[in-house]
Amino acid sequence: MAGYPPFKSLEAFDAAARHLSFQRAAEELNITPTAVSHRIRTLEDHLGRKLFHRLPRALRLTPDGAAYAPWIRQAFQSFRQAGTALEDASARGELVVTATMSFATNWLAPRLHRFSSQYPDIAVRLVATDDVLDFARHGIDVAIRYGRGEVGDLFAAWVLTDAAIPVCSPSRLTAKGQTLTADELRRLPLIQYEWRGYKPGDPGWVPWWDSVDPARPAPANAAVFGDEHMCIQAAIDGHGVALVGLLAAAREIESGRLAVAHPQSLPSKSCYFTCVPQNADLPKFAAFRDWLLAEADDFRDGPVGAMLDGIA
């Protein structure tokens, strides 16, 4: 085996090995599946070894391919990191940030203009999705993960811990600024947010009623929405009382379009700044992390964020 394998063949092999599909590798590389197959055949000829079992409706790595794939993947990760190191010699360039739809839309996006004013040479591209994106595969720099600290081997910094709280249109309150009693709440339509992957132990009306009125069963009239913004809008429109995250509802509470219907809240999950460990101290990553944590501190010092006091 003389010299190095062709770079494009290595690129095609890496993509095909990750996806176990020539079609999906082709989509990633913006070439045809036939071109992917030819490039991998060139690599196999160069190495003198077969890397894939080409089955009628599937693709499987051979033992040689399985041994080779991690090394090639690591090499491409090193290439990306080398480019990042050059770009991040100063706090400038693009920073791709992903966050859940609700956190990105309701809390982060309205504040990003302040980051841009402070760091005009860093262009943030915000990807709002409830899918957990892979840093390398999807080209993500920073992920704001919503959970209970399950971040694996990533660098993580705690940002905020959320709470689920009942909110409604101010017109639903019996008197201005006065929250409803549990009995009054029982007579109103209830709205519940259940995100993708929602589990029975997550915040919801049943555990909320157990904490407020354990002697009686929870009302069974809750409408369930899979989008938190829809829950908030339904509450604003006067369609009922929504149990949603305080972080998502904060802007509408501050504006007076929403009111806290009852002071009882339920501890929810936390938001964490995460990135791959080797990037954590690079200037643009550190700038965004420090700005985000300062924004979180300011929020907790405000009238709505102060409701999070005591929530661990």
Residue 111: give its domain's CATH number: 3.40.190.290
pLDDT beyond 70 at 85? no
Pull the structure tokens for residue 82. 């080398």
Question: Where a domain ends, among 87, 114, 135?
Answer: 87
Contact status, residue 92 vs residue 137, Cβ threshold 8 Å? no
Residues 80 and 152 in one domain: no
Residues 149 and 256 in one domain: yes
Identity at 210, one-letter amino acid code? D
Contact status, residue 69 vs residue 62, Cβ threshold 8 Å? no
Q: What is the tens place of the pLDDT at every residue in 18-61?
A: 999 999 999 999 999 999 999 999 999 999 999 999 988 889 99
Half-sphere exposure of 88 (CA within 13 A, CB side): 20
Residue 241 lies in a domain: yes
Residue 1 lies in a domain: no
Residues 61 and 123 in one domain: no
Question: Where a domain ends, among 72, 87, 102?
Answer: 87
Q: What is the pLDDT of residue 177?
A: 73
With b for 16 or more beta-carbon neighbours within 10 A and e for fewer, the 211-220 pattern comes to: ebbeeeebbe
Q: What is the residue range of 243's domain?
A: 92-312
Residues 50 and 168 in one domain: no
Residue 2 lies in a domain: no
pLDDT beyond 90 at 4? no
Residues 225 and 245 in one domain: yes
DSSP per-residue letters across 237-272:
TTS-EEEEEHHHHHHHHHHTSSEES-S--EEEEEEE
Q: What is the pLDDT of residue 15?
A: 94
Residue 167 lies in a domain: yes
Residue 174 lies in a domain: yes
Phi/psi at 22 (5° precision): -70, -35
Q: What is the pLDDT of residue 176?
A: 73
Residue 58 lies in a domain: yes
Identity at 77, one-letter amino acid code? Q
Question: Where a domain ends, among 58, 87, 116?
Answer: 87
Question: At 192, is the secondary structure helix, strand, or coil?
Answer: strand
Residues 181 and 287 in one domain: yes
Number of domains present in the structure of the chain = 2
CA distances from 271 to 30, 145, 160, 179, 288 (A): 35, 6, 5, 28, 15
Q: What is the pLDDT of residue 312?
A: 45
Residues 204 and 60 in one domain: no
Alpha-carbon torsion 92, 98, 102, 105, what sign? Answer: positive
Residues 48 and 165 in one domain: no
Residues 188 and 72 in one domain: no
Q: What is the tens place of the pLDDT at every residue in 122-179?
A: 999 999 998 999 998 899 999 999 888 888 899 999 999 999 999 999 999 987 778 9
Mean pLDDT value across residues 114-129: 95
Residues 57 and 195 in one domain: no
Residues 114 and 255 in one domain: yes
CATH of the domain at 55: 1.10.10.10
Residues 312 and 251 in one domain: yes
Closest CA to 163 of 97, 208, 213: 208
Please state which of the ranges 3-7, 10-14, 27-31, 308-312 shows the lowest mean pLDDT: 308-312
Half-sphere exposure of 125 (CA within 13 A, CB side): 8
